[in-house]
Amino acid sequence: MDNIAGSEWLVFIVMMLHLLLTPGTKVEESFNVQATHDLIYHNIALENYDHHEFPGVVPRSFSGPVCLALSSLPARPFFWLFSLHKVWMLVFGRLVIASQFHFLFYASRTLPNVFALFGVLFVYQKWLDGHLQSAVRWATAFTFVFRCELVLLFAPLFLPSIFRGQLPLFGENGAIYTGISTALKALVVTVPVDSLLWGYPIWPEGIVINFNLLQNRSHEYGVSPLLWYFYSALPRALLSSIVFIPLGCLIDRRLPRLLLPPFIFISLYSLLPHKELRFIIYAFPLLSLPAAVFTARMWINKEKSWRRWALAWGAASHLAVNALISAFILYASARNYPGNDAVAYLQYMQRMDAAKPLSLHMDGMTCQTGVSRFLHLYPDWEYNKTENLTPAQLTRFDFLAVGSYDGKLRELVQANYTSTHRVLFVVPAFHGVTWRKLKWPSIGRYLPVPLAYPEIQITEKIAVLRRKD
C-alpha cells in the first residue's frame, strides 16, 4: 500500500509541474475560467460577467464554475488580507481540479471535458465494482449537464450488463427509470442556475446537441480525417504505452471486455467531422490498463529467469520513454501561451502606472493564447477584447496586443499599426517542431535510416505596442 500511495503522490507532483509551467488558459477553457472569475469577483452583478460584456461564446453549463468558485471562496479572505494578485486565485481553482484527477496536463485545465471526466471516473469506479445503478445515476447526470456525447461511451459500457441481466432495463431499479429520474433532477437543479446567469432560459447541452447533431455545424471549427483519432490522437496521448494494448490483452483475457467500450466510443465519435484530442480523454484511463497490467506482470515475475528479467526491464523502460517525450511536449506547451506572457509582462513593466486609467486592447490571438480575467490585475485599467475594430477605433488605446499565427508579425505590425503606435516588446513562442539530422558520418553510414532529433521552433508571435505621444 505504501508503494501505491507513493505512486499517487508522484502523479500529483508531476501534475503540479504541468500546472506551474503552463498557467495560461487556451480558448477551449475560456468560458469556464471566465465564469469562475466572475462568480468569485462579481457575484450577483451579472451585467459585469464576461459573456455579457463580450457575447458570442458557445453556451456551457455554470455547474462546474459554480463548484469551483464555491471551493475557492475559503481562500479569498487570505488574498485580500495579504494583497495577493487574483491570478493566484486561478491557480487555487486549478488546484481543486488537479487534486481530483490522475491526468497531468489536461487535469489542470478548466475544460468542460475535464469537469465531465470527474463523473466518468466515478462511473468507471462504480461499474468495475458492480454498483451498476449508481453508475447509471452518475453517467446520466454528467451527460445531461456537462457533455452530451458521453452517451456514446456509456451506451456500450452498460449494454452488455443489460444483456447479461446484471442491470435490469425496466422497473423502479431499472436503467430507464433511474436514468430519466436522474436526468430530471439534474436539469431541475442546473437549468434555473444557468438560465439566471446567462440571462435567458437555457439548457446548455441542448444548444450543443442542436448545433452539432441537428444542424451538423461542427465542421465550422475544422475537419479531420475519419480515422484521425486512431492514427494521430491516440498515439500522442498514450505515447509508447500504446504498443502494450495487444500484449496486455494476450496475458489477461479480462482486458478486451474493458477496452471494448472506449474503442466503440472513439469509433462512433470519429463520425463527427470536427475532432480534437480532448474529446476522447474519457477513454484514456481504460486504454492505459493493458500497459499497466503487462508491465506489472512482467515485473512481478522478473526473478524467474534472465529472459524475464530483461523483458521486465524492457517493459518498464517505456515509462522513461514516456517521461522524456512528455518533458519535450511540456516545454513546447509552456512556450505556447504568448498571450498570457504578453499581458503579464506588460503589467509588470507598467506596475508604476497601476492606478492610472490606461487601456489595453487584445486581439483574437492574444485572447486565445492564455488571457483570462484572472490576469487583469489593475482595476483602473480597461482590458478590451472587442473584435473587428477599425484602425481608427484602435487609436484610442494606450496599448495594443497584436498576434500573428503565420510568423509574419513584423509585417503585420508595420502595415497596420506603426502610424499610431510603436512596438514596446515582442513575445516569442512555440511555432512548430522540425527534425534535425545528427552529424555523425562515421556511424550514420552503417544505419538503414538517418538519425535525427526533434527541435522546437520559436518565432515572434505577439507584439505589444504603445501609443505614440
Tell me the pTM. Answer: 0.78
Ramachandran class of 354: left when φ > 0, alpha when ψ lies in -120 to 50, beta otherwise? alpha
φ, ψ (nearest 5 deg) of residue 68: -65, -45
Mean per-residue pLDDT, 287-298: 83
Identify the band that residue 447 occupies on the pLDDT scale cut at 50, 70 and 90: low
pLDDT of residue 1: 42
Q: What does 86-133 look like in DSSP terms, one character per residue?
A: THHHHHHHHHHHHTT-S-SSGGGS--HHHHHHHHHHHHHHHHHHT-HH
The predicted model gives 330-341 an average pLDDT of: 90
Question: Is pLDDT above 80 for 89?
Answer: no
Answer yes or no: is pLDDT of 363 > 50.
Answer: yes
Quick check: 92 pLDDT over 50?
no
pLDDT of residue 21: 76
Q: Is the per-residue pLDDT at 4 higher than 70?
A: no
Looking at the predicted structure, is the pLDDT value of residue 212 above 50? Answer: yes
pLDDT number for residue 151: 92
Mean pLDDT of 285-298: 83
Q: What is the pLDDT confidence band of residue 96, given thresholds at 50, 70 and 90?
A: very low
pLDDT at 81 over 70: no
Asked whether the predicted pLDDT for residue 371 surpasses 70, the reply is yes
pLDDT at 82 over 60: no
C-alpha to C-alpha distance for 138 and 118, rounded to whole angstroms? 10
Residue 205 scores a pLDDT above 70? yes
Question: What is the rounded average pLDDT of the residues 324-331?
Answer: 85
Highest mean pLDDT: which range of 283-287, 421-425, 433-437: 421-425
The listed range with the strongest mean pLDDT (32-41, 157-166, 314-323) is: 157-166
Provide the pLDDT confidence category of residue 102 given band limits of 50, 70 and 90: very low
Q: In whole angstroms, give the CA distance from residue 109 to residue 104.
A: 9
The set of cell numbers assigned to 139 is 453517467
Query: Residue 11: pLDDT above 50?
Result: yes
pLDDT at position 108, please? 59
Structure confidence at residue 198 (pLDDT):
84
pLDDT (tens digit per residue) in 218-276: 777 788 999 999 999 998 888 888 888 898 888 888 889 999 999 999 999 999 888 88
Whether 366 contacts 458, CB under 8 Å:
no
Q: Do residues 65 and 197 make contact, with C-beta atoms less than 8 angstroms apart?
A: no
CA-CA distances (angstroms) from residue 332 to 28, 71, 130, 209, 267?
18, 31, 42, 34, 29
Per-residue confidence (pLDDT) for residue 158, from 0 to 100? 94
- pLDDT above 80 for 137: yes
> Looking at residue 49, what is its pLDDT?
76
CA distance 36 to 42: 10
pLDDT interval class at 109 (50, 70, 90): low
Taking alpha carbons only, the member of 120, 77, 118 closest to residue 100 is 118
Half-sphere exposure of 459 (CA within 13 A, CB side): 13
Task: Give percent of the chain with pLDDT exceeding 90.
Answer: 31
